[in-house]
């Protein structure tokens, strides 16, 4: 969210009290670190303030505990802790959609490392007592090293715990955020002014067409969520099976299937995708699951899905990616502790390579990152619209986590920090044939 740069020589003499004489206020400390260029108004419990008085956006540090969180949390974790706990308040934005203030912080606030004497004075002014870590808010997951008690990373037990942390919040809460489609993955907007529900329906249409599904076919949807793809396919005569590690998603999906009269064609099971024994599916869809798999498990993941397909069957993998194939895949900071424990992202090239290396033939890939930014925009609008109900359902702290996470993710998709790729592949038969696939893409974009 912010970056650190080495100071220019002149900063040493212009930064508040450069000789270390006198205690700095919290506002003065922030001005020093920001090089005197604050894009918003900052006020603190010690009575100090900084930044433009008439700024439309503001941060208010309300308690000494907030100072401790900010001083001891690495990266974005300190800011998140202070905000979620209520020790740091934002002004000028809705807590369900703090996008504008995150955009201002990311685009205009650049922290600079002051000279040693100034740094020493900052430390003295903050106080040693605020440099000792304290217990984080209860909504925070433990660090990765402490999660070993729940099993090795991406073991079935630990994956179930991670899915429960994020997806078993409240079906009612998700209904308010996601809307009638109950689809918690990137939509595909046919027009800039399309509604969220229209865009989600269009996404399912795109996946359905890419997989060349037709009445009588069999579809396996792994990580099926609330069963949106399963029900979409069943309405069109496809025998669809979904699996999810979320008990709440399973219950909601099974009820929706029954209410729509689709029980003869659609089914959703609670469990790990690795326990699916059936084979011979005409198609497999994986929409938003790979983020939870772990990069080192890609070979076994694609090998397993390939084994579920008949020769000539198609696989569509839809997942969040990084813009390169070199970055460390493990998520850090706020996202790992509050949103997706044990989540891992990598580049589309690494995903394609893993699919190819097990014998799948990749036919097509495309990047939908701008669509995900629009999806998150609409989810935030839904959360803001239903804020009071959401807070009553899941509590203020959890609702704030979701607003912060979705607005921050929107910004990351807009700036290319993360992307969304769909990869389409086929399982060739023993002779290398892929059946009667058309020579060029057969779906409507």
Cβ atoms of 314 and 424 within 8 Å: the answer is yes
pLDDT in tens, 300-310: 999 999 999 99
Q: Output the CA–CA distances (angstroms, integers) from residue 373 to 7, 191, 192, 287, 347, in the order listed.
A: 34, 14, 12, 17, 18
Question: Of 37, 160, 40, 187, whose CA–CA distance to 100 is shortest?
Answer: 40
CA pair distance 297, 308, nearest whole angstrom: 17
User: Which class is domain 156-426?
Assistant: alpha beta
| E-strand stretches of 359-418 | 361-367
Residue 206 and residue 443 in contact, taking contact as beta carbons nearer than 8 Å: yes
| Rounded-to-integer distance, Cα 320 and Cα 192, Å | 21
Look at residue 34 in the predicted model and tell me its pLDDT: 86
- Give me the pLDDT at residue 25, please: 97
Domain ranges of the chain: 4-131, 156-426
Tokens 């433009």 correspond to 52
Element (H, E) at 60: strand 58-61
Look up the pTM and report it: 0.90
Report d(CA 340, CA 345) in Å as an integer.
11
| Predicted pLDDT at 139 | 86
CB 366 within 8 A of CB 422: yes
Note whether 331 and 280 are within 8 A (CB). Answer: no
Question: Whose CA is closest to 255, among 171, 316, 355?
Answer: 171
Encoded tokens for 386: 């239903």
Instruction: Please say whether the beta carbons of 115 and 6 come within 8 A.
Output: no
List, as one string, the DSSP characters of 86-98: TSEEEESSBTTB-
What is the H or E stretch that residue 204 is in?
helix 196-210
Residue 112 pLDDT: 75
Listed in order, strand segments (DSSP E) in 238-375 are 239-244, 266-270, 281-287, 309-321, 361-367
The pLDDT assigned to 36 comes to 76
The token duo for 334 is 């706020």
> For the chain (length 445 residues), average pLDDT per consecutive 10?
37 44 90 87 97 95 97 91 97 98 84 87 93 91 65 56 60 96 98 98 98 98 97 98 95 98 98 96 97 95 98 98 92 88 93 98 98 98 98 95 97 97 98 96 97
CA 366 to chain centre: 19
Rounded Cα distance between 171 and 225, Å, is 11
């Amino acid at each position: 969210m912010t970056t650190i740069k080495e100071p220019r020589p002149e900063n040493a003499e212009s930064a508040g009290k450069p000789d270390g004489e006198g205690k700095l206020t919290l506002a003065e400390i922030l001005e020093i670190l920001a090089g005197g260029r604050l894009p918003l108004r900052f006020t603190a419990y010690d009575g100090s303030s900084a930044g433009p008085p008439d700024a439309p956006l503001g941060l208010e540090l309300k308690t000494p505990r907030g100072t401790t969180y900010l001083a001891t949390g690495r990266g974005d974790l300190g800011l998140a802790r202070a905000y979620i706990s209520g020790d740091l308040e934002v002004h000028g934005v809705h807590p369900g959609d703090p996008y504008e203030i995150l955009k201002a912080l990311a685009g205009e606030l650049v922290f600079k490392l002051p000279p040693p004497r100034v740094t020493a004075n900052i430390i003295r002014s903050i106080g040693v007592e605020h440099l000792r870590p304290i217990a984080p808010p209860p909504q925070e997951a433990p660090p990765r090293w402490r999660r070993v008690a729940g099993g090795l990373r991406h073991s079935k037990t630990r994956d179930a715990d991670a899915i429960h942390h994020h997806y078993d919040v409240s079906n009612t809460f998700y209904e308010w955020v996601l809307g009638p489609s109950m689809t918690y993955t990137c939509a595909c907007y046919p027009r800039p002014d399309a509604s969220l529900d229209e865009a989600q329906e269009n996404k399912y249409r795109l996946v359905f067409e890419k997989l060349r599904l037709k009445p009588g076919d069999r579809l396996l949807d792994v990580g099926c969520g609330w069963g949106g793809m399963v029900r979409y396919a069943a309405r069109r005569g496809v025998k669809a099976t979904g699996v999810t590690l979320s008990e709440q998603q399973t219950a909601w999906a099974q009820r929706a299937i029954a209410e729509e009269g689709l029980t003869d064609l659609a089914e959703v099971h609670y469990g790990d995708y690795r326990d699916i024994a059936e084979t011979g599916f005409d198609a497999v869809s994986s929409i938003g699951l790979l983020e939870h798999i772990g990069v080192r498990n890609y070979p076994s993941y694609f090998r397993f899905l390939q084994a579920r397909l008949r020769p000539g069957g198609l696989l569509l993998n839809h997942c969040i990616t990084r813009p390169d194939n070199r970055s460390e895949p493990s998520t850090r900071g706020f996202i790992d502790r509050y949103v997706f424990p044990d989540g891992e992202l990598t580049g589309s090239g690494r995903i394609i390579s893993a699919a190819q290396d097990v014998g799948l033939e990749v036919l097509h890939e495309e990047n939908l990152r701008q669509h995900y930014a629009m999806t998150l925009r609409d989810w935030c609008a839904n959360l803001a619209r239903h804020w009071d109900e959401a807070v009553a359902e899941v509590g203020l702290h959890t609702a704030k986590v979701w607003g912060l996470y979705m607005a921050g993710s929107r910004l990351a998709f807009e700036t290319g920090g993360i992307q969304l790729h769909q990869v389409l592949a086929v399982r060739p038969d023993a002779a290398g044939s892929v059946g009667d696939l058309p020579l060029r893409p057969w779906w409507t974009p």
